Amino acid sequence: MVPTIVGALILASWSLAHWEIGPVFLNAGLALVATLFGGWQRFLGGFQDVFRGKITVNVFVVVALIATLAVGEFRPAAIIIFIMVVVGALESYTLDKNRQSIGTLLDLTPRTATVRRGQEEVVIPVEEIQVGAVVIVNPGERVPVDGVVVTGSSSVNQAPITGESMPVDKFKGSEMFGGTLNLTGRVEARATKVGADTTLARIVHLVEEAQSTKAPIQNIADRFTVWFLPVVLLLAVAIFIVTGNIKNAISILLVACPCAFAIATPTAVTAGISNMARRGVLVKGGIFFELAGKLDALVVDKTGTFTLGRPKVLEVIALDGMAEQEVLQMAAVAEKYSEHPLAKAVLNCAREGELDVPDPDDFKVEIGRGVVARWTGQDITVGQGDFLGNKGILISAQAEGLIADQTQQGRTAVLVARGTQAVGLIAIADEIRPETRAAIASLYQVMGNKNVTMLTGDNPLVARSVANQIGVEHFQASLLPEQKQGFVKKLQDAGHIVGMIGDGINDAPALALADVGIAMGAAGTDVAIETADVTLMNDDLSRVVDFILMSRAVLRRIKLNIFLSIIYNVIGLVLGSLGMLTPVVAILFQEAGCISVVLSSTLLLWAQPKRPECVRQPE
């Protein structure tokens, strides 16, 4: 709107002058109005900076405009403002891309939702849903709130939230995110987060927050102006003294305006933030691009980051001639009603093996120790060695040796007994994320070193086992939250730029201290996400590689933009000193630099970080 009005006023001014319509002050007045209407913010900012005792880009622009108006060049001054507002519109295009993505995210939330009230289903506005309410989501509808499935099953497209390309199966107990699309079945979910507390709303907040963070490198333009403006003023005075032509001096001021220099960084940073947001990586500000491009040390929490934070059966060992499937079936029957994570791992393994798991005839759980069940007339006991020993169950030397072997590998050994005899052993450990090993290999190549350290509160045996499986050479075990933070501080004191990846509350101190804190968005806690500087919404560690590569691309683009702006200024000053520029041509030449910088930054919106091709490592 503003560029259109300013352009129309300039066109009217030129038309009146060209066809000599009306008095001169009329066309000059229109040009003056265009200058003030389009540039009042520039004038206000420049005068405010002067009163603060600062020489900034705005001060430089105001000096050039006032000098142009003072010699009666009203239309050139208006043209300066017109080009600036047009360039400003082009500059905001990159920012609008991000704002459009925010609007798209907001549109993912439905306006109304169906909730269960007793036996009735009632349609209400989404704003009225309370935590604890049961919402009903039919196939083809979007999930209105974050919640946990209580009834039904379905496949859900949650790409807008986590970036996953394949639909995710949901069943009783599964978490659902507001804004995701229910594809196949009808589900009922109990609301756990509503309104501004949902994952979708938090994403919107993080993206908006990223817009308001200013990288320190942006201050270069103002620091540059501190010495550049006096030099240009002296050069303009010298040109006026030598040539006696005030327009030559004004041309020097106009062509030297450092507008392109001022927008070199923010346009590149905003484009980088938008590019990463589309990849499921939310960056809170430009400074983190600068720091991530220089990372030379990375510390990573184990549970929930390198691993999925859920136990998985890795091995079933039968004793005394029993079949492995029979051992697993007995354990699954005994654990069927248990809520313990290890019990769920056993049941998942039985389901994957398509084993029949009937209900036990009797069941008793001893919290934190094990379970005792009765099935087909026999007692089945499942638990660790000391629990079975206290029940009078015989544990052979072979079983003792297997327990020791599994413990040495960092696994949890669960014994299965029938009657008074141990008949098998189930080895369980935290499941490693499938992409972890490849992501570590890529990080080593991108960082140029192997300074990646795994931190964990687990015991050293578990830590060593995971480290060996994923290819990490360094690890620290049995750490408390303050010790994780202390390790980050130690690396920083040694001169390293440190990145930290975590997902839990216990990682928050280290995330806050690290130069770049990176949180796992889907599995991470609210505290970790809010503390971190970067959030991986799909929990894919390979996105860290993308982020580092994009950070370097952003920094390269900033340097290119600054180089382009300086080149335009230098060439313009030379031409102006030789008297080869009029005020209008000086304006066009100078603003061409701004357009070049904006276009250069806009290309980052579609940049594709190229990950290194890692040599497959032996299993």
Mean pLDDT of the chain: 84
Q: Which of the pair, 38 or 58, is modelled with greater confidence?
A: 38
pLDDT number for residue 202: 74
Residue 162 — pLDDT band, cuts 50, 70, 90? low
What is the distance between the alpha carbons of residues 62 and 46, in angstroms, rounded to a whole number? 6
Residue 380 has pLDDT above 80, yes or no: yes
Q: Which of the pair, 577 or 324, is modelled with greater confidence?
A: 324
379 is catalytic: no
pLDDT number for residue 524: 62
**Cβ pair 380, 334 in contact under 8 A:** yes
**Cβ pair 286, 266 in contact under 8 A:** yes
Q: Which of the pair, 391 or 71, is modelled with greater confidence?
A: 391
pLDDT number for residue 618: 36
170's CB contacts (< 8 A; 6+ apart) are: 149, 153, 154, 155, 156, 176, 187
Among 268-272, 493-497, 524-528, 572-576, top mean pLDDT goes to 493-497
Angle at 394 between CA 392 and CA 398, to 5 degrees: 155
Superfamily covering domain 281-307+433-548:
HAD superfamily/HAD-like (3.40.50.1000)
pLDDT number for residue 122: 95
Parse the chain into domains and list their residue ranges. Answer: 2-100+210-269+552-606, 112-195, 281-307+433-548, 308-431
Cα→Cα distances 237→67, 142, 243, Å:
12, 66, 10
What is the distance between the alpha carbons of residues 292 and 546, in angstroms, rounded to a whole number? 11
The whole-number average pLDDT for the span 182-193 is 91
Residue 404 has pLDDT above 50, yes or no: yes
What is the distance between the alpha carbons of residues 15 and 30, in angstroms, rounded to a whole number? 11
* Single pTM value for the model: 0.67
What is the distance between the alpha carbons of residues 47 and 53, in angstroms, rounded to a whole number? 10
Least confident of 63-67, 88-92, 394-398: 88-92
Residue 279 — pLDDT band, cuts 50, 70, 90? confident
pLDDT number for residue 296: 93
Residue 92 has a CB neighbour count (10 Å cut-off) of 14
The whole-number average pLDDT for the span 466-491 is 91
Place of tokens 């038309």: 15
What is the distance between the alpha carbons of residues 214 and 220, in angstroms, rounded to a whole number? 12
CATH of domain 112-195: 2.70.150.10
Residue 107 — pLDDT band, cuts 50, 70, 90? low
CATH of domain 308-431: 3.40.1110.10
Give residue 130's Cα distance to chain centre: 29
Instruction: Collapse the DSSP code of 432 into the 3-class scheme (helix H, G, I; strand E, B; otherwise coil) and give the result.
Output: strand
Beta bridge partner(s), residue 311: 430
Instruction: Collapse the DSSP code of 523 into the 3-class scheme (helix H, G, I; strand E, B; otherwise coil) and give the result.
Output: coil
Residue 165 — pLDDT band, cuts 50, 70, 90? very low
pLDDT number for residue 464: 92
Residue 232 has pLDDT above 90, yes or no: no
Residue 101 has pLDDT above 70, yes or no: no
Cα maximum dimension of the chain: 113
What is the distance between the alpha carbons of residues 398 and 402, in angstroms, rounded to a whole number? 6
Identify which of 502, 421, 410 has the alpha carbon closest to the alpha carbon of residue 454: 502
Least confident of 101-105, 196-200, 583-587: 101-105
pLDDT number for residue 204: 67
**DSSP structural state of residue 89:** H
What is the distance between the alpha carbons of residues 419 and 451, in angstroms, rounded to a whole number? 52
pLDDT number for residue 261: 72
The whole-number average pLDDT for the span 272-300 is 88
pLDDT number for residue 26: 93
Catalytic residue among 301, 430, 507, 546: 301
Residue 298 has pLDDT above 50, yes or no: yes
What is the distance between the alpha carbons of residues 597 and 87, in angstroms, rounded to a whole number? 10
**Cβ pair 449, 395 in contact under 8 A:** no
Residue 13 has pLDDT above 90, yes or no: yes
Residue 31 — pLDDT band, cuts 50, 70, 90? very high
Residue 369 has pLDDT above 50, yes or no: yes
Residue 271 has pLDDT above 70, yes or no: yes
Ranges of beta strands (E only) in 61-186 are 112-117, 120-125, 134-137, 146-152, 154-157, 168-170, 175-176, 181-182
pLDDT number for residue 277: 86
Ranges of beta strands (E only) in 367-411 are 370-375, 378-383
Residue 485 has a CB neighbour count (10 Å cut-off) of 21
Residue 513 backbone dihedrals phi, psi, to 5 degrees: -80, -35
Instruction: Collapse the DSSP code of 166 into the 3-class scheme (helix H, G, I; strand E, B; otherwise coil) and give the result.
Output: coil
What are the tokens at 418? Answer: 């029938």
Residue 211 — pLDDT band, cuts 50, 70, 90? very low
Radius of gyration of the chain (CA): 33
